[in-house]
Amino acid sequence: MTEKNIKNKTENKAPNKSNGLDSKEIKEEEQVILTPWKLVLRKFKKNKVAVAGMIIFSIMVFLALFAPILTPYDPYTMDFSQVNQPPSKAHLMGTDELGRDYLTRILYGGRVSMQVGLFAVIIEIIIGALVGGLAGYYGGWVDNLLMRIVEIFMAFPFLPIAITISAVIGPEVAPEKRMYIMMFIIGLLSWGGLARMIRGQILSLREQEFIQAAKALGIRDSRIIWKHLIPNTLGYIIVSATLGMAGAIMSEAGLSFLGLGVTPPVPTWGNLVQNARDIYVLKNRVWLWLPPGVAIFFAVMSINLFGDGLRDAIDPKSK
C-alpha cells in the first residue's frame, strides 16, 4: 500500500517538472488535484493533538532561541549573595548553589539539549540515507557488505557503549565542547535502523517504471539515488527524523544525568536534573530538579505527538 502512495506522488509530481508545453493544463489540474504534500498538510491540520504538539514544541524552541532577550541574567554568572534562593519575583525559578538564576539555566539548557538532539539526528540521517541508499540501489555485494556493517552498529548496546566512549574521551574535552561529542556519539550509534528502512524502501522503488526510465535515459547513478529515490522516501525520513530527535534528546538527558553527557558548568536539562541525586536537594530544593525534568518531558512528548501526527498524515495505511 505504501508503494501505491509513492507512485501517486511521482505521478502527481511528474507534470510539474515537465517543461512548459502543457503548463496551462497543469494550472487547471492544480485547482482540482492537491499535491501529495498538500494532502499531508490537510490531514495533519485535522489532527488536533499533533498540532498541539507542534505548537508546544515551537514555543519551547522559541524560548530557547530567544533566551538572551527573555532573561536579564547570564547562565554562568555567580552571585554568592543569592545562593539557593527559592522561587521569587526576582528569580522566577529560584537560584542554584552558586547563585545562578535557575530559569536562565533552564532556558540555556534547552538550547544545548535541543541542539544536541537536532544535530545528532542530522548526522543519523546523513549516514542512514547514504548507507541505505547505496545498499538498496546497488544490491549484490555492496548491499551485503553495508548491511553487515549496519548489523554491527545495531548490535552495539547503545547506553553502555555511549557511556564508555564518553568516559574515555570525555576528560580531555572542555565542557563547552562536550555537546559536540554528544551529537556525534548519539548520531553515530543510531543510524542503523534508518539505513535498514531506507534500503527496504529503495529495493521496492528501484523496480518501478520511473527508475527504469531514468536508467534508460542514462542518468548518473548518484543523481538517480539523490534526485529520484531519496525524495520518494522523504516522508519516512522526515517522520523518523522527528521521532529520532525525541529519542536523541532523551538519550542526551540520560547521559547528562549520569554525568557522562554534557557536563557543568554548561547547562542541559539532563545535568540540571542531576542535582536531585543529592537526597538533600531532592527533599528540600524541589525547584532545582522538577522544572528541568518537566522540560525534558514536554519537549519529548510534544515532538512525539508531532511525529506521530506526521506519520499518520504521510502514511497512507493509516486513516
Query: Which residue among 19, 157, 216, 218 contacts other proteins (CB under 8 A)?
Result: 157
Dist CA 176 CA 184 (whole Å): 15
Binding mask 179-218 for other proteins (x = CB under 8 A): ----------------------------------------
Q: In the range 1-60, which residues lie near other proteins by CB under 8 A?
A: none
Number of residues that bind other proteins (CB under 8 A): 41
If the CB atoms of residues 146 and 253 are measured against other proteins, the closer one turns out to be: 253
Output the smallest distance, CB 4 to other proteins, in A: 17
Dist CA 90 CA 74 (whole Å): 14
159 binds other proteins (CB under 8 A): yes
148 binds other proteins (CB under 8 A): yes
Query: Which residue among 51, 78, 92, 301 contacts other proteins (CB under 8 A)?
Result: 301
293 binds other proteins (CB under 8 A): yes
Output the smallest distance, CB 151 to other proteins, in A: 6
Query: Which residue among 21, 69, 155, 217 contacts other proteins (CB under 8 A)?
Result: 155
Torsion angle of alpha carbons 250, 252, 258, 260, nearest 10°?
160
Query: Which residue among 77, 164, 212, 222 contacts other proteins (CB under 8 A)?
Result: 164
Please name the residues in contact with 109: beta carbons below 8 A apart, sequence gap of 6 or more: 75, 267, 268, 269, 271, 272, 292, 295
> Stretches 5-13, 59-67, 103-111, 293-301: which one binds other proteins (CB under 8 A)?
293-301
- Round to the nearest angstrom and report the end-to-end CA distance of the chain: 13
Q: In the range 239-268, which residues lie near other proteins by CB under 8 A?
A: 246, 250, 253-254, 257-258, 260
168 binds other proteins (CB under 8 A): yes
If the CB atoms of residues 232 and 275 are measured against other proteins, the closer one turns out to be: 275
144 binds other proteins (CB under 8 A): no
Dist CA 160 CA 28 (whole Å): 58
Output the smallest distance, CB 43 to other proteins, in A: 17
CB 186 within 8 A of CB 253: no
Query: Which residue among 20, 72, 140, 171 contacts other proteins (CB under 8 A)?
Result: 171
283 binds other proteins (CB under 8 A): yes
Dist CA 150 CA 63 (whole Å): 37
Query: Which residue among 106, 276, 288, 314 contacts other proteins (CB under 8 A)?
Result: 276
If the CB atoms of residues 159 and 234 are measured against other proteins, the closer one turns out to be: 159
Q: List residues near other proteins by CB under 8 A.
A: 148, 151-152, 154-157, 159-161, 163-165, 167-169, 171-172, 246, 250, 253-254, 257-258, 260, 273, 276-277, 279, 282-283, 286, 289, 293, 296-297, 300-301, 304-305, 308
